[in-house]
A and B are shown apart, each in its own frame.
Chain A
Amino acid sequence: MAEMDTSSSGGKKGKHGGTKSKKLSTRVDMTPMVDLGFLLITFFMLTTTMAKPKTMDLVMPKDTENEEEKNKVKESTALTILLGKKNQVYYYEGLAQDPNASANPDFFKATSFANKGGIRDVIINKRDQVAQLRNAKGQPEDVVVMIKADDGATYQNFVDIIDEMAINRIQKYATVEITDQDKTWIKSTESANGIN
């Protein structure tokens, strides 16, 4: 028993031995620990807020067989936008219900998603132009945008064009099935512009 009790913890023994242990301060410098703490807090705060994705509302039209329920769009207020491959955008004014419309070489036009001189300017022009027109009640007309995407378009193009509607605050727009006529127009414009 006596052999085991040789550590300095035996207070009385130490006193007898004559060695005086130095009294150390119990205070620890906490500054680096606080630094580390706040660094980690900052990291976690930033990562939590940045991980939040945003969403965009999309309301799909109902499929209706009833012809009378369908909304009719006037030729004069409509703008049709087509999405092609390689981020190309095509557009024409009106709905192209008249097959002779394509006889005019300037009817079907190509543009891009560029911020200046792209599809945005086309939409703004058409919106202002249509706002000059008056409906039966004498109120300004709203432009109606028809969005048709070809098979070569990507999801990004689709979101971009819907975003373009939000940017220009176009209230009336619809995604419509592309027609064969539109596809032929896109094809001929593509070959004319050298896009494969």
Chain B
Amino acid sequence: MPKIKMPRKSTAIDMTAMCDVAFLLLTFFMLATKFKPDEPVVVVTPSSINNSLLPDSDVILVTVDKDGRVFFSMDGQPKRQKLISDLNESYKLGLSPNDIANFTLGSSFGAELKDLKKVLEMGPDERKSFQKGIPIDSANNELGVWLEYGRTAQATIGVKAGALKYCIKADNQTPYPVIKKVLDTFKDKKIQKLNLVTNLEAAPVGSAAALYQKENAK
């Protein structure tokens, strides 16, 4: 009987194709990752059971740190540019094109309007310690101004009024009176629907929300 001879195969596999795939995916994820912009304040948000996501675009974000300093930020470079040029025009801030570019590329801003030019000319480290927050006293409520101009800038770039989200991101230890002033400012601008930025936590076992979630999952 003739023996069938099995051809002996090498155990080494050609890894080139796998390597290609791995690096393709790596490139994709590296480009897709958006690193957090350098925020002037560190904020530890409280947790809640809400699991709706914070949208990436069409957002006006008001950040309040634990000392009650208020910061304003907005997404989208064209919108930021429109916002800052509008403010420059109405309040005669005398910003140079360089200052405007600085604001457009920057992150949150938290100082008085009259100091805007000074802050934009500072380096990033100096800026962090200088900004004392946007004034929110009833006599001099500049947050209202920022909201007003932010809304206009968002509307002119083509964001529908309903799609625009107003978010508040505050620290655990922020005193309530500051939050109340911020909320009242929103109320003055006829903005009733707000989003509070929180971390996710699980609903407690046996609570009504946990039962509801279980029922809807089925």
Q: Judge whether B204 and A53 touch: CB under 8 Å.
A: no
The answer to whether A33 touches B172 (Cβ under 8 A) is no
User: Shortest beta-carbon distance, B191 to chain A, in Å?
Assistant: 8
At the interface, yes or no: B203 with Cβ under 8 Å from chain A?
yes
Q: Which of the four size classes fits the interface of chain A?
A: 35 or more
- A11: shortest Cβ distance to chain B, in Å? 29
B212 CB contacts on chain A under 8 angstroms: 169
Contact pick for B26, options A37, A120, A155, A159, CB 8 Å: A37
Q: Is A57 in contact with B49, judged by CB distance below 8 angstroms? A: no
Counting chain B residues whose Cβ lies within 8 A of the other chain, the interface size class is: 35 or more
B145 in contact (CB, < 8 A): no
Nearest opposing residue in chain B for A38, CB measure:
B22
The interface residues of chain B lying within 8 Å CB-to-CB of A152 are 175-176
Cβ contact within 8 Å between B33 and A48? yes
- In the bound assembly, the distance between CA atoms of A160 and B186 in angstroms comes to 21
Report the minimal beta-carbon distance from A28 to chain B, rounded to whole angstroms: 9
Given contacts A44-B26, A48-B32, are A155 and B193 in contact (CB under 8 A)? Answer: no
Known: A60-B186, A159-B46. A53 touches B54 (CB 8 A): yes
- A-chain residues with CB within 8 Å of residue B195 when the two chains form the complex: 55-58
9 closest residue pairs by CB, A with B = A30-B15, A37-B22, A44-B29, A155-B174, A55-B195, A156-B172, A153-B176, A163-B48, A169-B208
**B contacts, CB < 8 Å to A:** 12, 14-16, 18-19, 22-23, 25-26, 29-30, 32-34, 36, 45-54, 64, 165, 167-177, 179-180, 183, 186-187, 191-200, 203-204, 207-210, 212
